[in-house]
Amino acid sequence: MAKEIKFSLVYRDMWQSSGKYVPRVDQLEEVAPAIIDMGCFDRVETNGGAFEQVNLLFGENPNVAVRRWTAPLRKAGLQTHMLERGLNGLRMNPVPADVRELMFKVKKAQGTDIARSFCGLNDHRNLRGSVEGAKKAGMLSQVALSITSSPVHTVGYYLDIVDKVVQYGADEICLKDMAGIGRPTFLAQLTSGIKKKYPQIKVQYHGHTGPGFSPASMLEVARAGADYLDVAVEPLSWGKVHPDVITIREMLRADGFLVKDINMDAYMEVRRLTQKFIDDFLGYWINPSNSKMTSLLVGCGLPGGMMGSMMADLKGFQGAINATQRSHGRPEMSLDTLMVKLFSEVEYVWPRLGYPPLVTPFSQYVKNTALMNLLNMLSDKPRWSTIDKDTWGMILGDMGRLPGPLAPEIIELAKEKGFEFTDKNPQDNYPDELPRFRQMMREEGWDEGQDEEELFEFAMHERQYRDYRSGIAKERFNKELADLKAKAGAPVVLVRPVVEMPSIDIEKLTAEFPGAIAVQAPAAGELLYEVDVDGPSSAPVAGTAVKAGVPLGYVQTRYGLEEIIPAADGRLAAVVARQGQKVAKSEIIALLIP
């Protein structure tokens, strides 16, 4: 009898891999009946990751969104699944154990059936709390292996992790091919190895299409025994997102697999509604480059969704780099030349930092280190001159074990700085915090909510939750949208970049200060030189002394505050951005002279 392959629609990740926001709850409710009517899905990825934070940024209650979005799907018999980041839960930084455990209880009560849990380092210790928390809450526990291609990421390496998480009680395994660089034959060998050792374990494959391997990978893992495949629908499929269900279904059907029929009328309705949401407002934050595939991702191994931000990084640095080039009598560099140099530097840096899988947040750490190496070397400074504190946390073991050994020069640099390495269980570094958050909610006069869901949201995303409760978040979002519409001069009909670079002539400015180093925004968001000020705050003036590693200010992002860290000691030569200004990731906000 032919083996059946089942499909999961990654509707949340389709949006999250394309832009800043996901549809509002009313839009999700509008599209849910058409998704159900397509008849080809057994599962839908509904929430997790940045989903809750996005709703808080809208100024809306994410708990309401999850309950209303999952309800019609579950009523129709489809399983719903979420994505969570292991030690980091639903945010970018570590979460106390009691908050992690409450997360699973809340999400199960809200209608989420399956917890897909991954650790960016594939450290099974970080996954144990996820497996046990999901099982205790009555959810299916699906552990996601962060797939990459390196000498240390062998089939045996991954099977050792599977052995551990199965002991902890995991029900399923997901192959999370976040950059789409997993080689098809390797993925087939891994799937076969899992199925041979644990025939009762369901295997689900999730692969992005950026470098183009995904359809071949899907066919190979299906032949090797996989049970579920993650797919997308137009107009957000392909590019750097996920393959479209129509193509994958026909490919599998031609290979002899049993797959469900697609109601094409319903497919076209999902397609129409998705485009409608883009045209409504979501397209303002979708970068056009995400609709394009690129084989350049194969070499550096970075997730496709990072390409847009990476090019923004390079564009932000280009003026300062070329000013330095001119001051040394060297030729200027094009953006393409800088891109190739950055990709080459990522390939150099990655193994020397222990081959961390290039997934959030570790992909950012590796890329940022490579970028600073490139800038420093072009300024005749040594490689590794600038490594931020979060990257050092990864290097030293604060977030878990690195898959491979660190290069001797990195170990020596850590010793020179007096840093200590640790192999302590990362969760032990973050004591329980729910009692503190309960007390704060009592002081605010806030109810903990149905199934303690408001308590959970507050503890997971404190600052964003406060902004939601105060109304600041909705006001900020409405202003951001109004500004983008005003710039466009008309409703969105095409996909647009997330933000534009400032109109100031950065290259001209950097030419005035040869050898100056750019101070850049670490993420897109609202620039804050001071946090929680009641009145207006002014930017530091030219001549202000700054120190390397000491925050000059912050950027309020959808997931929290990001520190703006100068790369060197010195004095500010020019300040070009003001308090409260919306900035793009890597936008130059100041120049400093070392």
Say if residue 307 is in the same domain as residue 245: no
Cβ atoms of 456 and 101 closer than 8 Å: no
| CATH code, domain carrying 575 | 2.40.50.100
Say if residue 148 is in the same domain as residue 202: yes
Cβ atoms of 205 and 187 closer than 8 Å: yes
Cβ atoms of 57 and 473 closer than 8 Å: yes
Residue 492 has pLDDT above 60, yes or no: no
Say what the pLDDT of residue 497 is.
Answer: 31
Burial grade of 443 (CB within 10 A; 0-12, 13-18, 19 or more): exposed
Boundary residue ending a domain (398, 426, 454): 426
| CATH code, domain carrying 27 | 3.20.20.70
Say what the pLDDT of residue 319 is.
Answer: 79
Instruction: Examine residue 28 and state whether it is found in any structural domain, yes or no.
Output: yes
Boundary residue ending a domain (372, 405, 426): 426
Strands 570-575 and 545-546: what pairing?
A: antiparallel
Instruction: Examine residue 520 and state whether it is found in any structural domain, yes or no.
Output: yes
pLDDT digits 0-9 by tens, 73-126: 999 999 999 999 999 999 988 999 999 999 999 999 999 999 999 999 999 999
Say what the pLDDT of residue 333 is.
Answer: 87
Instruction: Examine residue 143 and state whether it is found in any structural domain, yes or no.
Output: yes
Say if residue 65 is in the same domain as residue 159: yes
Residue 388 has pLDDT above 90, yes or no: no
Say what the pLDDT of residue 509 is.
Answer: 57
Q: Is 187 or 583 the better-scoring residue by pLDDT?
A: 187
Neighbours of 512 (CB within 10 A): 11
Say what the pLDDT of residue 558 is.
Answer: 52
Say if residue 189 is in the same domain as residue 300: no
**% of the chain beyond a pLDDT of 70:** 91
Helix (H, G, I), strand (E, B) or coil at 17: coil
Say what the pLDDT of residue 190 is.
Answer: 98
Q: Give the mean model confidence (pLDDT) for residues 40-64.
A: 94
Q: What spatial distance separates the first Cα and last Cα of the chain, rounded to whole Å? A: 71
Say if residue 220 is in the same domain as residue 320: no
Instruction: Examine residue 260 and state whether it is found in any structural domain, yes or no.
Output: yes
Q: Give the mean model confidence (pLDDT) for residues 33-49.
A: 96
Say if residue 413 is in the same domain as residue 315: yes
pLDDT digits 0-9 by tens, 410-423: 999 999 999 999 99
Query: Confidence band (pLDDT; 50, 70, 90) for 584?
Result: confident
Q: Is 313 or 530 the better-scoring residue by pLDDT?
A: 313
Q: Give the mean model confidence (pLDDT) for residues 313-328.
A: 78
Query: Confidence band (pLDDT; 50, 70, 90) for 343?
Result: confident
Instruction: Examine residue 556 and state whether it is found in any structural domain, yes or no.
Output: yes
Say if residue 117 is in the same domain as residue 219: yes
Domain that holds residue 540: 499-594
Say if residue 151 is in the same domain as residue 110: yes
pLDDT digits 0-9 by tens, 192-234: 999 999 999 999 999 999 999 999 999 999 999 999 999 999 9
How many separate domains does the chain show?
Answer: 3
Query: Confidence band (pLDDT; 50, 70, 90) for 501?
Result: very low
Dihedral sign for Cα 309, 49, 133, 155, please: negative
Average pLDDT, the chain: 88
Burial grade of 289 (CB within 10 A; 0-12, 13-18, 19 or more): middle
Positions of E strands within 433-575: 517-520, 525-528, 545-546, 553-557, 560-564, 570-575
Instruction: Examine residue 232 and state whether it is found in any structural domain, yes or no.
Output: yes
Say what the pLDDT of residue 561 is.
Answer: 67
Say what the pLDDT of residue 408 is.
Answer: 96
Q: Which of 507, 511, 92, 584 is nearest to 311 (CA)?
A: 584
Q: Which of 216, 170, 173 is nearest to 194 (CA)?
A: 173
Boundary residue ending a domain (426, 441, 476): 426
Say if residue 253 is in the same domain as residue 321: no
Say if residue 543 is in the same domain as residue 421: no
Instruction: Examine residue 467 and state whether it is found in any structural domain, yes or no.
Output: no
Specify the residue for token string 């000020």: 533
Say what the pLDDT of residue 535 is.
Answer: 43
Q: Give the mean model confidence (pLDDT) for residues 30-56.
A: 95
Instruction: Examine residue 24 and state whether it is found in any structural domain, yes or no.
Output: yes
pLDDT digits 0-9 by tens, 59-87: 999 999 999 999 999 999 999 999 999 99
Say if residue 260 is in the same domain as residue 314: no
Specify the residue for token string 């009909």: 493
Q: Give the mean model confidence (pLDDT) for residues 143-167.
A: 97
Say if residue 246 is in the same domain as residue 333: no
| Backbone phi, psi, residue 81, to 5° | -135, 150
Say what the pLDDT of residue 536 is.
Answer: 46
Q: Give the mean model confidence (pLDDT) for residues 378-391.
A: 88
Residue 185 has pLDDT above 80, yes or no: yes
Q: Give the mean model confidence (pLDDT) for residues 555-568.
A: 73
Q: Give the mean model confidence (pLDDT) for residues 239-268.
A: 97
